[in-house]
Chains A and B, each alone.
Chain A
Amino acid sequence: MTAHTIGLRRKFLTDEARLAYLLLTPAVIFLIVFMLYPIIYVLLMSLYQTDKIGRLKEFAGLINYIELFKTKEFWEVTVRSGIWTVIGVVTKTLLGMVIALILNVKYSGRKISRLLFIIPWASSVPISSMLWKWVYDHEFGLLNHSFKSSGIWANPPVWLGEPLPSFISCMWVDIWIGIPFMALIFLAGMQAIGDELYESASMDGVNSFQKFFYITLPGIKHLVLIASLLSALWTFNDFNVIYILTRGGPAGSTDILITSLYKSGFEWLKFSRASVMAIITFIILAVVSVVYAWIYFRQEKEMQ
C-alpha cells in the first residue's frame, strides 16, 4: 500500500470516525439483536402460516393480511384505537392547558399545587390503574358513592361492567395519567415568555382573554404541537391501563390495536394474526414518529 492510498483511506475513515463507530457498537448490536431482528421476525410470521407455538409453517404471502382485513373485529379495533387516541390527546391538551394557566398565576401555594398535580404522572401506571379499578368498583367504590351521595348523578353506571362505560372509564384513566405532562410542558413554555409583553399589553388595556389568544398561545404553539404528537404516540401505545382495568372486555368492547394484538398472540396463540396486527401498528407508529422527529429537528434548527 502506498502512502497515497493510506492518505485516501484516512480521509474516508478518520481516527475520530473510527472511535465513534467503536463507541456506538454496543448500542447498535443491542438494537439489532433485540429490536431489528424481532421486527423482521414478526414480519416473517405475518407472511407465513404458523403453528400453536409460533413456528413458521408454509409461506402464505399476504393471505394473513387479507384474512384479517375481512374480519369486522379488526376494523372495530382500529377505529377504536383512533377514537381513543384523538379524544385522549385533545382532552389531555385542553385540561393540561387549564392547569398550566392556573399554575402560572402567582399566588402563595402554587409551588405545592404544582407538586401535587404531578403525582398522577409520577405514579406507576400499572399501580394507578389498579387503584382506579377499586375507585370504579360498583358496590364499594367511592366514585359512584360520591356521585350518588352528592346528588350529582343518582344512577351512575356499573363502570367496568358495560361496554360504553368501560371504554369511558379506561379512557379517563389514560387521560388522567397524561394531563400532568401536558400541564408541565405548557407551563414551562409560558414561563419562558417574558413578563414585559404582558405588562405592556396591560398598559394598552388588553384583557386576560386577549392576552391568552394573542400572547400566550402564539408563544407556546410549537410546544403544543410537539407535546401533542408525543402524547398521541404514548396514548396510542397505552397497553397497561386497558389490560389492567378490563383486559379489553367486556366482550372485546375496550380493545384497541395494542391490546388486541397482545391477546391474539399470548392468549389465543394466533401468531400470524398477531404479527399482522403488529406490522400494521409498527407502520402507523413509524409514520407518526418520523413526522415527530422531522418537526422536532426543524424546530431545533429554528432555535439556533
Chain B
Amino acid sequence: MTWRNKSKPLVIIITLLLLFVMLFPFFVMISTMIKPGTEIYVTPPRWFPENPTLRNLFAVWKEYNLLTYFESSLIIALGTMALNTLISVPAAYAVSRLRFAGRKFMLYLFLVIQMFSPVIVVISLFKIFAQLRLIDTYTGLILANTVFTISFTIWMLNGYFSSIPKEIEEAARIDGCSRTMTISRIMLPIAAPGLVTAMIYTFIWAWNEFLFALSFIKAQTKIPLTLGMYQFVGRWSTQWEMLTTAAFLALIPVLILFFSIERRLVTGLAGGAVKG
C-alpha cells in the first residue's frame, strides 16, 4: 500500500515505537551484559551502566561451563543436520519426481507431521531411549531432533525439486547419465539453495531445542546451551549479568544463520500462497 508523503513522519514514529517494544528484551540483554555485577541489583534499576565493562564477556567462560555447552550444542546440531539430510534428500526426490502409488498420501503425511508436538511422544520416546541406552547420549538427541525436522526438509526440497523442468532430467538420461548421476550432478546443484535453507533451518532447530534436552540429558558434560542456561535461571539466585552475556554469545550464530535463510524460509513456509 502506498501512503501519501505527508504521512511518512507518522509511519516512522509508529515504526520506532513498535521497534522499541519488539527489541526491548535485547536492549535489556545488552545493557545488563555490560554492567559490572554491582550495578545489576540496585533500585531503581538503571537503563545504562555508569561504568560499562566487557569483563563479563570473559568471566562467563570461567563461571559457567559455557565451552562444554557450546560443544554439546554444536555436536547435536551438526549431527541432526547430517542425519536429516541423508534421510530427506532421497525421500524428497521420490515424492517430487517419481510416480508411485501413495505419493499424494506421503506428501499429505509429511505436511501433517510437521504440526505434531514433540511433547506428545516425549514420554514414550524416553522409555524407548531408556531401553536402547540412549539416555544421556548425543545420539539420542540427534535421533529425536531428526524425527521432528525431516518432514519440513522433505517438504521444502519437494518444492525445489518440483520446480525443475522434467526435460532437463530427461535430456541428461538420454545423454547416458544414470539416475544417481542425474540426482547428484543436476538436481542437487539446482536445488542447492533449498537444500542449504533446509539444512540451516535444521541446524537452528537443533541448536534451540530445549524439551528433548530437558527430558533426556542429565549428565553435566553433555548438556547443550539452552538447558545449561536454563539451569542457571532455575537456581535460587540468578547472576543475570552472566546469563545475559551467555545469551548474547549463544544468539550470535543463530541470528547470523537465520538471516541468511530468512527470505527463502518465508516462501517455504507459506508455500505457493506467497508466490501467487
- A: which residues have CB within 8 A of B? 14, 16-17, 19-21, 23-24, 26-28, 30-31, 34-35, 37-39, 41-42, 45, 54, 98-99, 101-102, 104-107, 109-110, 113, 115-128, 130-135, 137, 139-143, 145, 148-149, 176, 179-181, 184-185, 188-190, 192, 195, 198, 202, 208, 211-212, 215-216, 222-223, 226-227, 230, 233, 236-237, 239-240, 243-244, 258, 261-262, 265-266, 271, 274-275, 278, 281-282, 285-286, 288-290, 292-293, 296-297, 299-300, 303
Cα of A211 to Cα of B275 in the assembled complex, Å? 21
A185 touches B94 (CB 8 A): no
- Do most interface residues of chain A lie in helix, strand or loop, or is the interface mixed? helix
Instruction: With both chains docked as a complex, state the minimum distance between the C-beta of B4 and any C-beta of chain A, in angstroms.
Output: 8
B residues near A176, Cβ cutoff 8 Å: 22
Which residue in A116, A237, A281, A297 is a CB contact (below 8 Å) of B22? A116
Report B-chain residues with C-beta under 8 Å of the C-beta of A299.
271-273
Residue B146 lies at the interface, judged by CB distance under 8 Å to chain A: yes
Chain B residues, CB < 8 A from A243: 214
Q: How many residues of B contact A (CB 8 A)?
A: 100
Binds A, one of B40-48, B59-67, B188-196: B40-48
Q: Which residues of B contact A104 (CB under 8 A)?
A: 1
Determine which of B115, B143, B251, B266 lies in contact with A233 in the assembled complex, contact meaning CB atoms within 8 Å. B115
Is B179's CB within 8 Å of the partner chain A? yes
Additional 19 contacts, C-beta under 8 A, given A35-B147, A116-B22:
A19-B94, A35-B116, A35-B121, A54-B127, A102-B14, A105-B2, A115-B259, A122-B254, A130-B230, A140-B40, A188-B270, A189-B270, A239-B211, A265-B122, A278-B119, A282-B120, A285-B120, A289-B111, A289-B114
Scoring B15, B42, B144, B250 by chain A CB atoms within 10 A of each residue's CB, the highest score goes to B15
B120 touches A42 (CB 8 A): yes
Q: 22 pairs across A/B with beta carbons < 8 Å?
A: A41-B128, A42-B120, A45-B123, A98-B18, A105-B11, A109-B12, A117-B22, A124-B226, A124-B251, A124-B254, A125-B208, A127-B226, A140-B40, A143-B24, A189-B273, A192-B275, A208-B3, A208-B7, A211-B1, A240-B210, A292-B111, A299-B273
Asked whether, in the complex, the Cβ of B208 is within 8 Å of the Cβ of A26, the reply is no
Which 10 A-B pairs have CB atoms at the shortest separation, nearest pair first?
A17-B100, A289-B115, A122-B258, A38-B124, A23-B90, A38-B121, A27-B91, A20-B98, A41-B124, A124-B208
User: Of B114, B121, B123, B128, which is within 8 A of A271 by CB?
Assistant: B123
- Within the complex, the shortest CB–CB distance from B104 to chain A, in Å, comes to 9
* Chain B residues near A132 (CB-CB < 8 A): 25
Chain A contacts of B244 at CB under 8 A? 131, 134
A135 vs chain B, min Cβ distance (A) = 5
Q: Which residues of B contact A185 (CB under 8 A)?
A: 266, 269-270, 274
Among residues of B, the one whose C-beta sits closest to the C-beta of A301 is: B272
Kindly provide the distance from the CB of B205 to the nearest chain A CB, expressed in whole angstroms.
10
CB of B80 closer than 8 Å to a CB of A: no
Question: Could you say which of B43, B99, B115, B258 contacts A140, with CB atoms under 8 Å apart?
Answer: B43
Q: Which chain A residue lies CB-closest to B211? A: A239
Whole-angstrom distance from the CB of B85 to the nearest CB of chain A? 11
Interface centre among A127, A211, A239, by most chain B C-beta atoms within 10 angstroms, is: A127
Partner of A45, one of B32, B112, B124, B272: B124
Known interface pairs A21-B100, A118-B262; A127-B250 also in contact (CB < 8 Å): yes
Task: Annotate B231-259 by CB proximity to A: 1 below 8 A, 0 otherwise.
Answer: 00100001010011001001100110011
- Asked if B274 and A192 make an inter-chain contact with CB atoms under 8 angstroms apart, the answer reads yes
Inter-subunit contact A130/B247 (CB<8 Å): yes
* Known contacts A116-B22, A261-B119; A141/B45 CB under 8 A: yes
Q: Does B135 contact A (CB under 8 A)?
A: no
| Contact across chains for A278 and B120 when beta carbons are under 8 A apart | yes
**Nearest Cβ in chain A — how far from B102, in angstroms?**
9
What chain A residues lie within 8 Å of B31 (beta carbons)? 142
